[in-house]
Structure 1
Amino acid sequence: MTSAAFSLPSPVQRRIDRAADDLLNPEGMPRVDFTTPAGEPALVPADSVSWRIFKNPVTLFIGGVSAVLLELAEPGVRDGVWQHSSFRTDALTRLQRTGMAAMVTVYGAKSQAEAMIAGVVRAHDRVRGTTSEGRPYHANDPVLLDWVQATASFGFIGAYDRYARALSPAERDRALAEGKPAARLYGAAGAPTSEAEMRDLFARMDDRLVPSPIIAEFLGIMRRVDAFPLAMRPLQFVLLRAATDMLPDHLIERLELDDWRLRTGESTLVKAAARASDRIVLRSAPPALASQRLGLPADYCYRRA
Structure 2
Amino acid sequence: MTGVETRRLGPDSLTWRYFGDYRLVLLGPRAALLQNMLPELGQAVLDHSVFFADTLGRLRRSVPPILNTVYGGPRAGESGRTVRDFHTEIKGELPDGRRYHALTPEVYFWAHATFFDQLREGIQRFVRPLDRAEQERLYEESKIWYRLYGVSDRPMPETLDEFDRYWDRMLREELVAHKTAKYGIGYATKGIPRPPKVPGPVWAVVRRPLNHVARLLSVGGLPERAREILDLPWTDRDERSYQRVAAAVRALAPLWDRLPMKARYISVAHRAFAREAQPDSVTPAH
Return the letter of the residue paired with 1:293: R
Please tell me whether the aligned partners of residues 24 and 119 of structure 2 are also in contact (alpha carbons under 8 angstroms): yes
Sort the Cα spacing of 1:213 and 1:241 in 2 relative to 1 into closer, same or farther, 3 A: farther
Match of 2:36 in 1: 72
Return the letter of the residue paired with 2:244: T
Structure 1 CA distance, aligned partners of 2:158 and 2:133? 12
SS across alignment from 1:43? coil
* 2:273 aligned residue (275, 288, 291): 291
SS across alignment from 2:148? helix
* 2:166 aligned residue (201, 207, 213): 201
Structure 2 CA distance, aligned partners of 1:197 and 1:133? 30
Displacement of 1:235 after TM fit? Answer: 5.6
SS across alignment from 1:100? helix
Which consecutive residues of structure 2, in runs of 5 or more, have no partner in the other structure? 1-5, 196-201
Structure 1 CA distance, aligned partners of 2:49 and 2:235? 25
Structure 2 CA distance, aligned partners of 1:268 and 1:98? 33
- For residues 66-145 of structure 1, the aligned pairs below 5 Å read 66-111=30-75, 113-145=76-108
- For residues 177-192 of structure 1, the aligned pairs below 5 Å read 177-186=140-149, 187=151, 189=153, 190-192=155-157
Displacement of 1:60 after TM fit? Answer: 3.5
Structure 2 CA distance, aligned partners of 1:221 and 1:86? 18
Please tell me whether the aligned partners of residues 42 and 179 of structure 2 are also in contact (alpha carbons under 8 angstroms): no
Match of 2:14 in 1: 49
Q: Aligned residues: percent identity?
A: 26
Structure 2 CA distance, aligned partners of 1:220 and 1:269? 22
SS across alignment from 2:92? strand
1:241 aligns with 2:209: no
Displacement of 1:275 after TM fit? Answer: 6.0
Sort the Cα spacing of 1:97 and 1:282 in 2 relative to 1 into closer, same or farther, 3 A: farther
Please tell me whether the aligned partners of residues 124 and 139 of structure 1 are also in contact (alpha carbons under 8 angstroms): yes
Please tell me whether the aligned partners of residues 128 and 138 of structure 1 are also in contact (alpha carbons under 8 angstroms): yes
Instruction: Spell out, residue by residue over 1:40-78, the C-alpha distance to the aligned partner (whole angstroms, 9 max, x if none).
Output: x99212111112211322314526x11122112110011
Match of 1:164 in 2: 127
* 2:24 aligned residue (59, 77, 102): 59
Sort the Cα spacing of 1:297 and 1:194 in 2 relative to 1 into closer, same or farther, 3 A: farther
Alignment: residue pair count: 258
Please tell me whether the aligned partners of residues 23 and 126 of structure 2 are also in contact (alpha carbons under 8 angstroms): no
Please tell me whether the aligned partners of residues 124 and 140 of structure 1 are also in contact (alpha carbons under 8 angstroms): yes
SS across alignment from 1:265? helix
Please tell me whether the aligned partners of residues 71 and 272 of structure 2 are also in contact (alpha carbons under 8 angstroms): yes
Sort the Cα spacing of 1:224 and 1:70 in 2 relative to 1 into closer, same or farther, 3 A: same
Displacement of 1:128 after TM fit? Answer: 0.1
Instruction: Spell out, residue by residue over 1:99-123, the C-alpha distance to the aligned partner (whole angstroms, 9 max, x if none).
Output: 3234212222221x22222122122
SS across alignment from 1:251? helix
Please tell me whether the aligned partners of residues 76 and 138 of structure 1 are also in contact (alpha carbons under 8 angstroms): yes
Of structures 1 and 2, the one scoring higher in RCO (CA 8 A, sep 6+) is 1
Match of 2:245 in 1: 269
Structure 2 CA distance, aligned partners of 1:208 and 1:79? 14
Which consecutive residues of structure 1, in runs of 5 or more, have no partner in the other structure? 1-40
196-205 or 156-165, which deviates more: 196-205
Return the letter of the residue paired with 1:97: R
For the aligned residue pairs, the C-alpha RMSD in angstroms reads: 3.1
134-143 or 260-269, which deviates more: 260-269
Return the letter of the residue paired with 1:208: E
Match of 1:218 in 2: 184
Match of 1:254 in 2: 229
Return the letter of the residue paired with 2:276: L
